[in-house]
Chains A and B, each alone.
Chain A
């Protein structure tokens, strides 16, 4: 895909924000670094969707939300109020060609995967969805907009890093625990048979104070249990145990809100940081 990018566009320059233009000039040619950036996005997108997974319907629904937001973003470039033909029209049209079948296929899966689920998705769907988004973002030249829409996934990834790097012990499955008695989901925990080192222990207690996780200590103050570091568990720590579909709805609402905010930021504030937006939209000015 990067080869396709090289052959078709070969554009490795980026526009420099106005405050830095005095140092770097108007366009900065990143050369091979840009390809590294593209490769990083192509690796990051599928895996970040895969981390924010585990409860019924969440993987498919988050992909649907992101795809819909991308579609809205694309349609901004096709609306009658924009100049025609806009230089970016082609790439946005292309991204619509890729996103529409994706939404169709995902919706079919969503119908059966929402709570209570009759079919389940594993890694395959997450990688598929992530690759579609990465390709659409890279070949359409809006990878930064894509990353803005991925903010909940980015947060989840950063939040999970201690467990991914094994600084905190990482159990095989970190999805929320199902309590059969109450029928509700609760945050799953890592049990510490051997207490963590002092540094890790202090860091975990600090996170507990900041309400970013919940830590259970025994009488001597050593850590016995700590909630797993995923956004699903965090939500349950904040809002108490809840039913699976309500948790999924809550996360999706948050995703949609972040996405809309991200799009607003991208189109409005882009005018402050760069001298011109790709898309002149008089209503926003």
Chain B
């Protein structure tokens, strides 16, 4: 039923935009956190840092992830929700 509505109404082009935008964001989000992600996993180019298995298992590196910068995924979910709220309203 919902798909039918979208198919009939010609002015939901904004939904196409929003979906592509979200996909782009999701693809490119890891890149600002490159240093954090790569340092926590071995083989990140810095061969001097040898991360022993026991360190990773205790999860000590996880709390050093900058949660203040983790908002983008939440942001994209917010945009998605707002778009979903906006979709049922026919123009």
Chain A interface (Cβ < 8 Å from any Cβ of B): 1, 4, 8, 46, 90, 93-94, 97-98, 101-102, 104-106, 108-109, 113, 119-129, 131-132, 135, 139
Could you mark each residue 5-18 of chain B with 1 if its beta carbon is under 8 Å from any beta carbon of chain A, else 0?
Answer: 00001111111111
Asked if B46 CB lies within 8 Å of chain A CBs, one says no
A-B contact count (CB 8 A): 103
The residues of B that contact A90 with a CB separation of less than 8 Å are 69
Known contacts A105-B24, A123-B91, A128-B86; A135/B17 CB under 8 A: no
Q: A128-B17, A135-B79 in contact; A97/B24 too (CB < 8 A)? A: no
**Choice from B32, B67, B82 contacting A131 with Cβ under 8 Å:** B82
In angstroms, Cα B14 to Cα A129, docked, is 9
B-side interface residues toward A, CB under 8 Å? 9-18, 20-21, 24-25, 28, 32, 67-69, 71-72, 74-75, 78-79, 82-83, 85-87, 89-91
Assess the B24–A1 pair: CB atoms within 8 A. no
Contact with A1, one of B68, B78, B86 (Cβ below 8 angstroms): B78
The complex places the Cα of A188 from the Cα of B73 at a distance, in Å, of 43
Q: How far, in angstroms, from A46 to B79 measured CA to CA in the complex?
A: 12
Report how far A123 CA is from B84 CA in the complex, Å: 12
Is B14 a contact partner of A126 (Cβ separation < 8 A)? yes
Asked if A122 and B74 sit within 8 Å, CB to CB, the answer is no
Q: Are A123 and B89 in contact (CB under 8 A)?
A: yes
